[in-house]
Structure 1
Amino acid sequence: MVVRNQFEERLKELHQDLLTMGIMVEEAVYNAVKSLVFKDVDLAEKVVDGDRAINDAEIEIEKKCMMLIALQQPVGSDLRRIATTLKVSSDLERMADHAVSISKTTIQLKDEIYAKPLIDIPKMSDIVKRMVHDCLDAYIHMDKEAAAAIAKQDDQIDAYFKTIFTDLIELMNKDNAWINQATHLLLVAQYLERIGDYVTNVCESIVYMSTGQVVELNN
């Protein structure tokens, strides 16, 4: 019984570590797009510099997962919970990498005047940020129904990406002076789209953790 209680305490600590990491990633995505919209280079650099802490958090979570597996030799649902935490931390780290890429775009475009106000990219970002937040909540509560519902929101992300892609291609065709800027903004939309895909991965991991079933959500 004592061993079981120790395991549960360490698992609870692991979940808290992942939640803390997730909040950092959520903030990084928000600040990255905010820096782009307002051309806030200082904020962009803050996101870039903050990536080290997120990487360190992933490494620490991985170490704790490996230690739990080695010391407790979990099986069944216990092993799934640890394996899911390991996978989710990896997906979160990749989301943060894309936030860094968006921030670097801010720095690259800092001296340019936007061809038109950024509207769809911030809207796309709002959905992505909400998905990141909600998937973390679903993870903590092992809520497979919520996870499936969150994954469906990726359709909205894809729709925004298609709209942005079409608009930027049209802009480049009209005036090749905008090719550099449009290409960078297209990459930003792609980074956000990829973050949405990683959220879907997290949602699939939540279903696996809860049921033991490997599923493809929103395929």
Structure 2
Amino acid sequence: MRTNYDRQLKKLNDEMVEMGSMIEGVIEKAIKALVNQDVDLAQEVIRRDDQIDQQEKDIESLCFKLLLMEQPVATDLRQVSSALKMVTDMERIGDHAADISELTIQMAGKPYVKELEHIKAMAKESRVMLVDSIDAYVNLDLTKARKVIAQDDVVDDLFIKVKSELINLIHRNADAGEQETDLLMVAKYLERIGDHATNISEWVIYYITGEHISGN
């Protein structure tokens, strides 16, 4: 019976990795669509959100099945309960990728009022945080989980830079205020992606150590 339980736990890990890969992919495509003002690619990201939602439901169902089985020990329970929390953050990251793509469609057709260097840097950092947080879960890597949490400061600092630049632009050119506001929302969604990756890593630490860390 324990062998079956271990098999189901491995399936949970595999499902989490698959969902993490899906989300990493939509973030990458959402940013590429934003930078290139590619409406078709942005629409693809939005369509993928339904698949991510379904993956979340599948993982939740598997977690509940594992909790109802008779074999779990304390570490198993922490793994499954952490996965349940993590998958919610992962689904929200998928939502934010779709949100960014909706703004991309809204801004299409007009040149950007500024270079997107800091937004692209935010996207890169938040994507690395997501990948590392899932890797930390699968490999029980406490060091990597803590590194992700520390890395959130980098994303926050970049968001402050983007916000400051866009507010200054709005003051200088109110006519472009709508696009500047949309770009600020893009940056805010990326900042939230970093927060969700941090949450995931905090749950990884709980899974490994039993220690709760304050979340975002």
TM-score calculated relative to the size of structure 1: 0.96
CA deviation after TM superposition for structure 1 residue 112, in Å:
1.5
> 2:144: which partner in 1?
146
The counterpart of 2:117, out of the listed 116, 119, 123, is 119
| Cα deviation code 1:34-86 (max 9, x no counterpart) | 10110011110010000111000000000011111112362411100111111
Q: Whole-Å Cα distance in 2 between the matches of residues 40 and 126 of structure 1?
A: 19
Instruction: Give a deviation string over 1:129-178, Cα, whole Å, max 9, x none.
Output: 11111111111011112100111010110010000000000000001011
Question: Corresponding residue for 2:36?
Answer: 38
User: 5 Å matches for 1:52-131?
Assistant: 52-72=50-70, 74-131=72-129
Task: Select which of 163, 166, 174 maps to 1:165.
Answer: 163
C-alpha distance in structure 2 between counterparts of 1:68 and 1:156, whole Å:
37
Match in the other structure for 2:21: 23
Pairwise CA RMSD of aligned residues?
1.1
Q: 1:204 aligns with which of 202, 205, 210?
A: 202
What are the superposed Cα offsets for residues 72-107 of structure 1, whole Å, 9 maximum, x if unpaired? 362411100111111111110000000000000110
Q: After TM superposition, which residue ranges in structure 1, 4 or more long, deviate above 6 angstroms?
A: none
2 CA distance for matches of 1:105 and 1:142?
Answer: 37
- Percent of aligned pairs with the same residue? 39
- Asked whether the equivalents of residues 7 and 72 of structure 1 are also in contact (C-alpha less than 8 Å), the reply is no
**2:115, 2:161 → 1: CA distance?**
15
- Give distance in 1, aligned partners of 2:80 and 2:43: 33
Query: SS of the residue aligned with 1:85?
Result: helix
Shift of 1:216: 3.1
Name the TM-score, length of structure 2 as normaliser: 0.97
SS of aligned partner of 2:82: helix
SS at the partner of 1:72?
coil
Q: What does residue range 184-195 of structure 1 map to in structure 2 within 5 Å?
A: 184-195=182-193
Match of 2:172 among 160, 171, 174: 174
Q: Which runs of 5+ in 1 are unaligned?
A: none
* Mapped partners of 1:175, 1:136: distance in 2: 42
Q: Gaps (5+ residues) in structure 2?
A: none
Partner of 2:49: 51
State the number of aligned residues. Answer: 216
The question of whether the paired residues in 1 share the 8 Å contact of 2:170 and 2:177 is answered with: yes
